[in-house]
């Protein structure tokens, strides 16, 4: 049984409407076939129906039950334009600007999510992370309890899974932001896997072995996180966070038998480089980025994603949508 099978089972119990703005990407279409066959989600594809159906036929796929929307000719186009204009008029956009934005399927899909016509959105197969995040920030925005959105990656090897954060959004997080990344990452892990999360706040120092501004920033983040009752360890080096006997040597004062399953990196440089190195050199699957802290679930694919990555991220997005409905 794959680690993510439990998440797929959750999704199947109450599938949600997930919109894909990049419907002509072959991987999206192949993933959609699997998603529909397994009942993971109700799939909405955006684009020219003739072109999409032609590609489905060429690939010999069975997408029974798929909904295809031509966003350029949708009866909801003007309605969404008015709503988008209301959302962004204080930023100086006109109604015509809003209509131009909606010609991009990513923005049209985000408005579907905003208005409740979809329960989740997955982009990024052919858009940059910056494009996807920009649409999310402009339209969906953050939960009231969240100051900044962050991005988590699930790193999967055999039956083991770790969550890395923040791998997508905040370049140089402050101590407060690192503490919030830890909180959101713990919530993500626990909601997806129904097990307790323990976060390691990573640094080049373990328990005072090193000093410097970067170390102090992580130490302060640990203090802030602990005041909120979060189960965090740090500052801690990666080897001590992952290997029990190294942990016992470097920081014997903590419970090293209680495994760390969430790794919070000190910055975007270290996290993004690390997850890609681990993925490629360690033959580890990387699923995400999972955007944490948005009012509604909108997630980003790596442009190097596989079909299975899309299927798995869809299941994760469905589970996020299920939790929002509670």
Residue-level pLDDT at 124: 86
Q: Which residue has the higher pLDDT, 325 or 305?
A: 305
What's the rounded mean pLDDT across residues 137-145? 92
Residue-level pLDDT at 130: 84
The answer on pLDDT for 325 being more than 70 is no
In sequence order, what are the beta bridge partners of 155? 162, 286
Measured in Å, how far apart are the chain's first and last C-alpha atoms?
28
Same fold, 1-141+294-326 and 144-293: yes
Those residues whose C-beta lies under 8 Å from the C-beta of residue 227, and which sit 6 or more positions away, are none
Distance (Å, rounded) from C-alpha 101 to C-alpha 81? 9
Distance (Å, rounded) from C-alpha 287 to C-alpha 312? 7
Query: How many Cβ atoms from other residues are within 10 Å of residue 32's Cβ?
Result: 27
What's the rounded mean pLDDT across residues 39-61? 97
Distance (Å, rounded) from C-alpha 311 to C-alpha 20? 12
Q: Which fold has domain 144-293?
A: Rossmann fold (3.40.50)
Residue 280 tokens, joined:
């490629």
For all residues of the chain together, what is the average pLDDT? 93
Residue-level pLDDT at 313: 95
Residue 203 tokens, joined:
């640094």
The answer on pLDDT for 166 being more than 70 is yes
pLDDT tens for 286-296 read 998 899 999 99
Residue 89 tokens, joined:
């008029």
Most confident of 50-64, 124-138, 291-305: 50-64
The answer on pLDDT for 326 being more than 70 is no
Residue-level pLDDT at 158: 86
Q: Which fold has domain 1-141+294-326?
A: Rossmann fold (3.40.50)
pTM, two decimal places: 0.91
What's the rounded mean pLDDT across residues 118-132? 88
Residue-level pLDDT at 257: 82
Do residues 262 and 217 touch, judged by C-beta distance below 8 A?
no
**What residues does each domain of the chain span?**
1-141+294-326, 144-293
Backbone phi and psi for residue 298, each to the nearest 5 degrees, phi listed first: -140, 115
Longest CA–CA separation in the chain, Å = 65
Do residues 156 and 284 touch, judged by C-beta distance below 8 A?
yes
Peptide bond preceding 166 in cis form (omega within 30 of 0): yes
Distance (Å, rounded) from C-alpha 278 to C-alpha 134? 27
Q: How far is CA 323 from the centre of its chain?
A: 15
pLDDT tens for 76-87 read 999 999 999 999
What's the rounded mean pLDDT across residues 33-59? 97
Strands 42-46 and 67-69: parallel
pLDDT band at 273 (very low <50, low <70, confident <90, very high): very high
pLDDT band at 172 (very low <50, low <70, confident <90, very high): very high
Choose among 121, 238, 264: nearest CA to 185. Answer: 264
């Amino acid at each position: 049984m794959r680690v993510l099978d439990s998440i797929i089972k959750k999704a199947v119990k109450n599938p949600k409407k997930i919109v894909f703005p990049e419907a002509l990407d072959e991987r999206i279409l192949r993933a959609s076939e699997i998603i529909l066959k397994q009942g993971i989600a109700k799939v909405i594809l955006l684009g020219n129906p003739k072109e999409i159906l032609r590609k489905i036929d060429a690939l010999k796929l069975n997408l029974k039950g798929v909904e295809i929307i031509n966003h350029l000719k949708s009866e909801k186009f003007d309605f969404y334009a008015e709503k988008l204009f209301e959302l962004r008029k204080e930023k100086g956009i006109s109604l015509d600007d809003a209509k131009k934005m909606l010609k991009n399927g990513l923005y049209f899909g985000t408005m579907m999510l905003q208005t409740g016509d979809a329960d989740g959105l997955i982009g990024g197969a052919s858009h940059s992370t910056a494009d996807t995040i920009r649409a999310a920030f402009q339209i969906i925005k953050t939960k009231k309890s969240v100051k900044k959105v962050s991005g988590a990656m699930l790193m999967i090897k055999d039956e083991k899974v770790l969550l890395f954060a923040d791998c997508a959004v905040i370049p140089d997080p402050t101590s407060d932001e690192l503490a919030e990344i830890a909180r959101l990452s713990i919530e993500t892990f626990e909601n997806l896997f129904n097990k307790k999360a323990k976060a390691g706040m990573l640094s080049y120092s373990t328990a005072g072995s090193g000093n410097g501004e970067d170390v102090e920033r992580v130490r302060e983040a640990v203090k802030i996180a602990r005041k909120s009752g979060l189960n965090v360890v740090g500052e801690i080096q990666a080897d001590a966070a992952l290997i029990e006997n190294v942990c016992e040597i470097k920081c014997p004062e903590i419970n090293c038998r209680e495994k760390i399953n969430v790794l919070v990196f000190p910055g975007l440089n270290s996290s993004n480089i690390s997850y890609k190195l681990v993925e490629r050199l360690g033959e580890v699957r990387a699923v995400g980025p999972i955007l944490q802290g948005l009012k509604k679930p909108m997630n980003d694919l790596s442009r190097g994603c596989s079909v299975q990555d899309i299927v798995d991220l869809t299941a994760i997005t469905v589970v996020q949508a299920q939790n929002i409905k509670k």
